[in-house]
Amino acid sequence: MCDALPNALVSVKDVHAQFEAVAPAVRSVKDTHVAACAHYLIAAKAYPEASAVALVSRNIKDFKKTVLAKLGIVLQEPDAFLGGLCLKHQHEVAAAFRSFRLDLTRCAASLGL
């Protein structure tokens, strides 16, 4: 993950600093940190070439999609996110899955499975 998204690790201090900015976009307080992480990436200009940051969650009901969008955060369910990646980056996704599968095979072999 660190190779693909070098700025994805966000400190607790930096996340907490974004709580107030994302509070109107969150329906469930327990998910504030998720939106705050996404907002931090925007505020820090961590990925300046990106038009938006994706917040990927199965709990989309806990977020206000239109409010997040105004903050530059796109709310997506995992299937839609992965489907979009597969459409836009077919070769890279296939290579990543191939690498993952080879790692699993090597791990199983080393365990004698």
pLDDT tops 80 at residue 109: no
Other beta carbons less than 10 A from residue 13's beta carbon: 7
Rounded distance between C-alpha atoms, residue 33 and residue 10, angstroms:
11
pLDDT tops 80 at residue 5: no
Residues in a beta bridge with 26: 63
Nearest to 41 by CA among 77, 86, 84, 11: 11
Nearest to 43 by CA among 72, 8, 74: 72
Asked whether the beta carbons of 34 and 13 are under 8 A apart, the reply is no
Q: What pLDDT, in 10s, does the model give residues 61-82?
A: 999 999 999 999 999 999 999 9
pTM of the model: 0.77
pLDDT at 16: 94
